[in-house]
Amino acid sequence: MPSYKLIYFDGRGFAEPARMLFHLAEVPFEDVRIPFEELMPGKQSEGFLEMKDKTPFGKFPVLSIDGFDIPQSSAIIRYLAKKFGYAGKTPEEQAWADAIVDQFKDYMESFRQFIYAQRGGKPEEEVKKIHNEVFGPVKETFLRELERILKKNRSGYLVGAGLTWADLVIADHLHTLENLKELEVKSLEEYKERIYSLPELRDYIQGRPQREM
pLDDT tens-place string over residues 80-127: 999 999 999 999 999 999 999 999 999 999 999 999 999 888 999 999
- Domain 4-85 belongs to what architecture? 3-Layer(aba) Sandwich (3.40)
Helical spans, DSSP H, in 26-164? 46-53, 73-84, 91-119, 124-130, 136-153
| Section 116-142 average pLDDT | 95
pLDDT score for 68:
97
d(C-alpha 179, C-alpha 192), whole Å:
13
Is 8 within 8 Å of 33 (Cβ atoms)?
yes
147: Cβ contacts below 8 Å, ≥ 6 apart: 185, 187, 188
Q: Which SS3 state, helix, strand or coil, does residue 71 take?
A: strand
What residues does CATH 3.40.30.10 cover in the chain?
4-85
What is the band of 177 on the pLDDT scale with cuts at 50, 70, 90?
very high
| Section 46-57 average pLDDT | 91
pLDDT score for 40:
78
Q: Which SS3 state, helix, strand or coil, does residue 40 take?
A: coil
Computed on alpha carbons and rounded to an integer, the radius of gyration of the chain in Å comes to 18
Query: CA 178 from chain center: how many Å?
Result: 14
| Section 17-31 average pLDDT | 98
Residue 80: closest CA among 39, 29, 114, 145: 29
Residue 112: closest CA among 137, 131, 132, 91: 131
Mean pLDDT, rounded, of the chain: 95
pLDDT score for 43:
80
What residues does CATH 1.20.1050.10 cover in the chain?
91-197
Domain 91-197, classified CATH 1.20.1050.10, yes or no: yes
pLDDT tens-place string over residues 191-206: 999 999 999 999 999 9
What is the band of 37 on the pLDDT scale with cuts at 50, 70, 90?
confident
